[in-house]
Structure 1
């Protein structure tokens, strides 16, 4: 029987996850498909999860705005998902729903691939934003030993995140000492890159465009940058293993994704 999995969000047409997972499926010769699902609202998402419980789906990667609901609907969840307060992966088995968050793994994999000289252990890092993406980033970086500070325009939201995860709320002055600055906002951040260390690393969790204004400005300053596509691929690898029961084959999925984006490698 064909295994059916996919990615769910709203909007979802832009997602590159089917391109990435599809390349791995083809390389492994699996009888499987990985689709986009775009329910209109929370009720539609809940119905999709019910389909999974009934055996129609093997699992789902989950993106905005359904990550928190995904965790709430699960029967069991990993400690990582609980720490993040959200899930980007649901696996259905025997009528039960298991939730996990692989976003943090994706972030750490992206840093290892594109900023291999960076060691965050014991060093100050700043996460920009206080939403679900920021929460996943802060949790992963804290687990890696970093001294995490959260910088957000609405201090109350930053405080809620910081209290949940045991990290700090910082102001713009913290940027001057940061070894790493992660943009977890959906828009370009309004920060002064001139205030950063000359060896600071910049990461943007967004991948459309691949060279966001934040990263382009950092490169103009000579800073090392890490893009959101590297994180997307990094979180997709453990998701693929969970959904299909095998490790991804050695395929250059970044090149495949860049072609889909219309960008050069």
Structure 2
């Protein structure tokens, strides 16, 4: 198998493909989903060369592959490789899920719906008519905008260090907003109006840094959600908690986006509670 995956991917129906990839929890997640839903499927890691993503995918297809999760740094290449794109993949401009069917490569993006599922179902937080602040204007934020808009919030403000990038996202997604004025952009310092939900889609938590966010961003009984996760609360979560917000990390998003990919491939929607609890105990 191209990219050094060796026999681990040769006998798989599905893979998670990236570089690096050995750290991915996807095989364990999907093995549990398959067992819980009585699905006969085999899932493995696939390491693709940085300059050989498309070739690795096509070789996997030739060996009987039926689908793939795609992680860094290949989500844009997966978008370009797909023959067909779902609406949410087109909106995100990136693909994290590929389905191979009768010679056609379907590209999807389940990140945003995974985020929304975790917030609405697992955290019990209804997004309808809420004021939402989305921090960041990169790929993670881009994948979240459409699923958030579909929940019909009262307001969705995209804040970014470089405001022009946030404004670009607003222009791109304005067509998906049912009412004018729901979407807007600002800098971090201008986000002070007391939001119901604040989502950190920046990479700051990876460096244990805090976006330059005003304490006034958190409204009464606000939920602060960090897309990153770990064994300890992130700096963003600590800051939010200190200012009265309820906090949640992105582990549930990881599990829920995987469940959505599983549904895309198999047509069966797995339960996620047990997988989430198992992963949390391992952090």
Q: Sort the TM-score into its range (normalised by shorter chain).
A: 0.7 to 0.9
Q: Partners in 2 of 1:219 and 1:129 — Cα distance?
A: 20
Q: Do the aligned residues in 2 keep the contact of 1:115 with 1:225 (CA within 8 Å)?
A: no
1:216-245 CA-partner distances (Å, limit 9, x unpaired): 332343312222011111111121122234
Provide the residue aligned with 1:217 in structure 2.
Answer: 239
Provide the residue aligned with 1:105 in structure 2.
Answer: 113
Identify which of 242, 249, 261 aligns with 2:264.
242
Provide the residue aligned with 2:156 in structure 1.
Answer: 148
Q: Partners in 2 of 1:258 and 1:46 — Cα distance?
A: 34
Gaps of 5+ in 1: none
Q: Partners in 1 of 2:152 and 2:137 — Cα distance?
A: 20
Provide the residue aligned with 1:190 in structure 2.
Answer: 211
User: Does 27-36 or 84-93 show the bigger shift?
Assistant: 27-36
Q: Do the aligned residues in 1 keep the contact of 2:197 with 2:225 (CA within 8 Å)?
A: yes
Q: 1:98 to 1:48 in 2, by over 3 A?
A: same
> TM-score w.r.t. structure 1 length?
0.88
1:138-174 CA-partner distances (Å, limit 9, x unpaired): 2211121122111111223222222211232123332
Q: SS of the residue aligned with 2:126?
A: coil
Q: 1:19 to 1:260 in 2, by over 3 A?
A: farther
Provide the residue aligned with 1:177 in structure 2.
Answer: 194
Q: Partners in 1 of 2:22 and 2:67 — Cα distance?
A: 19
Q: Give me the CA root mean square deviation.
A: 2.3
Gaps of 5+ in 2: 1-10, 175-182
Q: Partners in 2 of 1:229 and 1:255 — Cα distance?
A: 10
Q: 1:104 to 1:162 in 2, by over 3 A?
A: same
Larger RCO (CA within 8 A; separation ≥ 6): 1
Q: Do the aligned residues in 1 keep the contact of 2:263 with 2:270 (CA within 8 Å)?
A: yes
- 1:132-171 aligned within 5 A: 132-146=139-153, 147-166=155-174, 167-171=183-187
Q: Do the aligned residues in 2 keep the contact of 1:110 with 1:226 (CA within 8 Å)?
A: no
Q: CA deviation at 1:120?
A: 2.7
Q: CA deviation at 1:250?
A: 6.9
Q: CA deviation at 1:29?
A: 4.7
Q: 1:69 to 1:51 in 2, by over 3 A?
A: same
